[in-house]
Amino acid sequence: MKKLRAVVLDEKMDKVVRELHEEGLIELCDLASKLEDSEWAGLLSPSSPAPYIRDVSALLIKTNRFLDLFDSVKGEEKGGLKELLNPTLPPKEKVNFSSADEVISYGRSLLEEVEGEVKELADRLNHLENKINNLQQLKRYLEYLKDFQVDLEHLKSGPYTYVAVGLIPEDKIAQLKEKLSSITDNLSEVVEGKPVVTTENERKVPVVVVTLKEYRDKVGGELRRSGFERIEISNLKGTPGENLERIEREIRECEKERENILSKLRELAKKWYRKLLVLHELLEIEKERAESYTYYGRTERTYMLEGWVPEKYVDRVKNTIERASEGCGVVEVKEPDEPEEKIPVMLDNPKPVKPFEMLTEMFAPPKYNEIDPTLLIVPGFLIFYGIMLTDAVYGLLLTLIGLFVWKKLGKVSEGARNIGYILTLAGIATVIAGIVTGGYLGDFLKEFLGFDIYKTPFALVNPLGESFYINEVRPLLKLGSISVDNGPIAILLFSILVGILHLFIGLVVGFKENLEKKGFKEAFLNQGIWLLLIIGLALGLVTNIPYIILATVVLVVLLCIVRGYMKGGILDAMLGVMDITGFLGNVLSYARLLALCLATGGLAMAVNIMAKLIGDSVPVIGILLALIVLLIGHTFNFVMNGLGAFIHSLRLHYVEFFGQFYEGGGKKFQPFKARREYTTVN
The secondary structure of 445-477 as a DSSP string is HHHHH---GGGSTT-S--TTS--SSSSSSS-SE
Report how many domains make up the chain. 4
Residue 580: inside a domain: yes
> 597 and 620 in one domain?
yes
pLDDT at res. 126: 93
> 474 and 380 in one domain?
yes
Residue 55: inside a domain: no
Using a cut of 0.95, tell me whether the model's pTM lies above it.
Answer: no
Q: For residue 44, give Cα distances in angstroms to 20, 297, 333, 454.
A: 22, 6, 19, 78
- Please tell me the total number of residues recorded for the chain in this structure: 682
> 472 and 553 in one domain?
no
pLDDT at res. 75: 62
pLDDT at res. 542: 85
Q: Using the 8-state DSSP alphabet, how is residue 163 labeled?
A: E
Within 13 Å of residue 40, how many CA atoms lie on the same side as its CB? 13
Residue 52: inside a domain: no
Q: What share of the chain is helix, strand, coil (3-state, %, to 5)?
A: 65, 10, 25
> 371 and 449 in one domain?
yes
The residue type of 286 is E
pLDDT at res. 523: 92
Residue 46: inside a domain: no
Residue 464: inside a domain: yes
Which pLDDT tens digit goes with each residue over 411-461?
A: 888 999 999 999 999 999 999 999 999 999 999 999 999 999 999 999 999
> 478 and 427 in one domain?
yes
Kindly list the averaged pLDDT for each block of 10 residues, start to end, along the chain of length 682. Answer: 94 95 95 86 90 96 95 67 72 90 96 95 94 90 84 86 91 89 90 86 90 91 90 85 91 94 93 95 96 94 95 95 93 89 91 95 92 95 96 97 93 92 97 96 93 94 92 84 87 94 96 92 92 92 87 90 83 80 92 95 95 91 94 97 96 95 91 93 80
> 457 and 410 in one domain?
yes
> 542 and 482 in one domain?
no
Residue 285: inside a domain: no
State which residues form the domain around 512: 491-589
> 483 and 496 in one domain?
no
Q: For residue 407, give Cα distances in angstroms to 162, 402, 410, 558.
A: 73, 8, 5, 56
Which pLDDT tens digit goes with each residue over 260-293?
A: 999 999 999 999 999 999 999 999 999 999 999 9
> 522 and 471 in one domain?
no
CATH number at residue 192: 3.30.70.2750
> 408 and 374 in one domain?
yes
> 458 and 379 in one domain?
yes
> 461 and 368 in one domain?
yes
